[in-house]
Amino acid sequence: MQKLTQAFVVLAAAVVIPPVFNATVASRPALADEAELPGADTQFLAKAIVSGRNEVELSQLAAQKAAQPDVKHFAEHMVKEHTAVNEKLMNEAQRHKINTKGTYGTPPLEPSPEAQATKNQLSGLSGDKLDKAYMQKMIDDHVQAIAMFKDEAKDGKDSALRTLADTVLPNLEQHLKEARAIGSKIGTES
């Protein structure tokens, strides 16, 4: 009787365990690429996407309304370069299945109220006032972006994001240098 009970337990286990095991395996990502990002990497990616989108929107506005040819050219350059970087960042977000509406701990990938307020403020400006305000914003934003990308390049856990951050960093530094030169020429504060 004891052997019959043991045989029944073994048979029941053979029937029940494989589906449970398969469900556990199936819930894991098929590829290491699709693995969930560590929190800091997720935060970097979300902030970088939002920041990049904001820069593109402000630069589109400045490209249309700038008075100074240097400011207009810089804004057009920012639209082109930041759009390309944003595409790479969004590819990483999609690869890691980051929800664009945001999740616990990850903000939505859309403009913040502060960014919308800045855009509204710049929309109401024209001429030299717009040029100066836009260039000052680009200086401030690039200082923040450089710090964020440096941190990710140094401390990021995801190798693809570290590499992307390290690759983008020289361009951001060049943008800051150009923004400061134009800003100095037109009389911004920084």
Per-residue pLDDT of the chain (190 residues; tens, 9 = 90+): 555 445 444 444 444 444 443 333 333 333 344 556 778 898 899 899 999 999 999 999 999 999 999 999 999 999 999 999 999 999 998 888 877 776 666 666 777 788 889 999 999 999 999 999 999 999 999 999 999 999 999 999 999 999 999 999 999 999 999 999 999 999 987 6
Domain count, the chain: 2
Amino acid making up residue 126 = S
Query: Does residue 25 sit in the same domain as residue 49?
Result: no
In this prediction, residue 130 carries a pLDDT of 97
Query: Does residue 88 sit in the same domain as residue 152?
Result: yes
* DSSP string across the chain: -HHHHHHHHHHHHHHHHHHHHHHHHHTS-SSGGGSPPPHHHHHHHHHHHHHHHHHHHHHHHHHHH-SSHHHHHHHHHHHHHHHHHHHHHHHHHHHTT--TT-BTTB--SS--HHHHHHHHHHHT--HHHHHHHHHHHHHHHHHHHHHHHHHHHHH-SSHHHHHHHHHHHHHHHHHHHHHHHHHHHHT---
In this prediction, residue 172 carries a pLDDT of 97
Query: Does residue 122 sit in the same domain as residue 180?
Result: yes
Query: Does residue 1 sit in the same domain as residue 13?
Result: yes
What domain range is 177 assigned to?
34-186
Query: Does residue 15 sit in the same domain as residue 72?
Result: no
CATH of the domain at 126: 1.20.1260.10
Query: Rounded to two decimals, what is the model's pTM?
Result: 0.78
